[in-house]
Amino acid sequence: MMDAGWMSALEPVHAARGRARWRYTCRKGAPLEARAIVRAVEAIAGVSKVRVNPAARSLVVEFDPAATTADRIALDILRMAPLPRPHAQGEEPSAAPVALSAATLLATRSLQPGLQAPVAVGTAIPLLGEAVDDFLEKGVTSHVLEAMAVAISIGRKDYLAANMTSFLLALGEYLEASIERRSDDLLKHLLKPDVGEVWVERDGEEIQLDAAEVRMGDTVIAATGRVIPVDGTVLGGEAMVNEATMTGESVPVTRRRGDTVLSGTLVEEGRLRIYAERVGAQAAAARIADFVEHSLAVKSATQLEASRMADRLVPMVLGLAGATWLVSGDWQRVAAVLQADYSCALKLFTPVAFKAAMYEAGKSGMLVKGAKALERLAEADTFVFDKTGTLSTGKLEVTDSIAFKPGYSPADIINLAASVEEHYFHPLALAVVEASRRLHHPQHFDHKEVEFIVAHGVASIIDGRRIVVGSRHFVEDDEGISTQAHRDTIERLHLEGKTLLYIGFGGELLGVIALRDSLRSNSAATVRRLRRLGVKRVLMLTGDHPERARAMAGELGLDEFHAGLMPEDKARILQELAAGGARIAFVGDGVNDAPALSGAHVGISMHNGADVARLASDVALLEDDIARVADAKALSIATQRLIDSNFKLTVGLNTSILSAAAFGWLTPVAASALHNGSTIAILLRALAGAGLPRGRRTGALPRERTVPA
């Protein structure tokens, strides 16, 4: 993988309004495929069309001048990380080099003397070739030192040491590739593209197309039960749209002509004709998918630092070998010193520990998208939660039923409302029907045919009197039923953050039903556990009403909350927190959370959230259990501690081996055995120690579970 950008140079050739042409140069080792470059550049905000001519190294970009500029696009192109080259479908990392080096190692003593040298050389050829490339490009690196150790061992006819080094390097590469493939397979499974068909109006007819065929300017039809596939403006119709994935608002909202609608939101009831403004590659999901691919190609700071340190220690080992010869004149001591170095363990255990932890996380219900995500999660000291679908279930439940007319009980109010709403699939109606079922004496009231008024409520006739159930606007403005006599009660319920359903009967306000988005049973326990894991602050951001947010924040004991937010507000608040020195982990589940998830120090998405949120996050939960957030934090801390302790072990053991070799206390074979043996032990420790902390099983870091009452 490359750590630098994709392009090493971008030379402007021509520019006009909305169009620019550059001559590009890719960095050595970066993908050269035109299709990959086109896909990456198309993901840049404001870009509408891309053409690439690999032979001429020409890149032509058409863009929206109102949204961006040629200079900004050029800067984004230079910042692009190369897309990782994924394994082909079903392709397993080859174990042949490991098997060959293992067989060579086991057969070292039994081979004929004349065969030992050519067999050892043949096994080491890939390593030696890589070292030559490294030396020509970068000078003396740890790869060069590894090759020198093998070459010197072969030159001294110490074939056991040479073959052991070759085997360890091949094994490490195989283990890393295998664990990386498993993690990538989990990612592919989680982020299945949402492929479906869309109704589009063309030439006065409604036709069904694949979602990929929808064009900007099309008139898209979205009816009850359908997810809106585009960003656009409503041309006609009226519907109740569930925008919880976009705004965090748990109650559906009315959308009609002139209103803006967003992809990923759900039409709960009604039908809309929508002018498609952003489709296909311009959609947020496509852009964030590329962001994820880029992020997977980036190594963690710990891994890079370990690799750099290993390279910096190469001259020290060579210098120690030279000093040993100058002091002692003993080539055996020199050979013993050259058999040991820091690079094998330093370069192998860090990526293996990270990848093994990622794989174990996947088996435990958490998809971690790269070593950097684990590293940043361990550093996070501030956790910021979205509300709806994260701390809460996203489902409404009845909290209060209040009767305003004598002779009617709270149960009567619920039963009356449920009787006329039982065939209505609005979230409020479903919650009322469920509340009726839970009553000790549920009762069904016979009624005439139910009238459904889109975005308002329902009406029917019971015992010759008209019953209406719906919004305050419906009951008060459309039906002429006054609510003023009960204003104090209604205001109190609003201040408690509850959504109200009004019941009018015979022209009078019979009562109200209050509903609220319910908390997850273990949200409070998760917040407490995060504090025990070292988190300093826990906050909540939401697009929901302030009253609802305040009630929930108080119940959970949060440090702070912000309500009534739009997506850009969440990202802005995170920027302000980061500017104050906070290292933020953001937990969300909606389309509106994508900017915050991408911009936070580390982003965590819930299992049942929007695809865009899961794509934008660094950690995606594979189970609908908020306790996994604390598990992910515990895992990251345990992994970082494992890496830190392995680093100390590596430095301590190898310094001791090198010192003993320089003083002549170890033969070359003994130095090689100790060095390679310690490398194997540290690598196995990295593998065995991966996963959730042992304390979770022994009680040091218990995961709290809340038993429902």
Catalytic residues: 386
Q: Give the integer Cα–Cα distance in Å for 218 and 440.
A: 52
Return the ∠ at Cα 613 (arms to 612 and 618), rounded to 5°.
120
Q: Give the integer Cα–Cα distance in Å for 421 and 443.
A: 13
Cβ contacts of 97 within 8 Å, gap of 6 or more: 126, 170, 173, 174
CA pseudo-torsion sign 690, 695, 701, 702: positive
> Hey, what are 410's tokens?
């709270």
Q: Give the integer Cα–Cα distance in Å for 665 and 137.
A: 37
Cite the beta strand spans of 173-248 per DSSP E.
197-202, 205-210, 219-223, 231-242
Q: Give the integer Cα–Cα distance in Å for 157 and 298.
A: 40
CB 515 within 8 A of CB 499: yes
The two beta strands, 197-202 and 537-541, are unpaired
Which stretches within 45-158 are classed as H helix?
A: 70-79, 96-107, 113-138, 142-155
SS3 per-residue string spanning 5-41: CCEEEEEEEEEECCEEEEEEEECCCCCCCHHHHHHHH
Among residues 369, 260, 348, 382, the alpha carbon closest in space to that of 618 is found at: 369
Q: What is the DSSP letter of 277?
A: E
CB 516 within 8 A of CB 548: yes
> Hey, what are 341's tokens?
């170095």
Q: Give the integer Cα–Cα distance in Å for 703 and 695.
A: 10
Q: Give the integer Cα–Cα distance in Å for 456 and 470.
A: 6
Start-to-end Cα distance in the chain: 52
Q: Any long-range contacts for 463-466 (C-beta under 8 Å, 24+ apart)? A: 465/505, 465/506, 466/504, 466/505, 466/506, 466/507
CA pseudo-torsion sign 608, 86, 27, 52: negative
CB 593 within 8 A of CB 386: yes
The 3-state DSSP class for residue 199 equals strand
CB 264 within 8 A of CB 245: yes
CB 208 within 8 A of CB 199: yes
Tokens 């040629």 -> residue: 70
Supply the Cα-derived Rg of the chain in whole angstroms: 32
Q: Give the integer Cα–Cα distance in Å for 272 and 241.
A: 10
The two beta strands, 197-202 and 205-210, are antiparallel
> Hey, what are 50's tokens?
């891309």
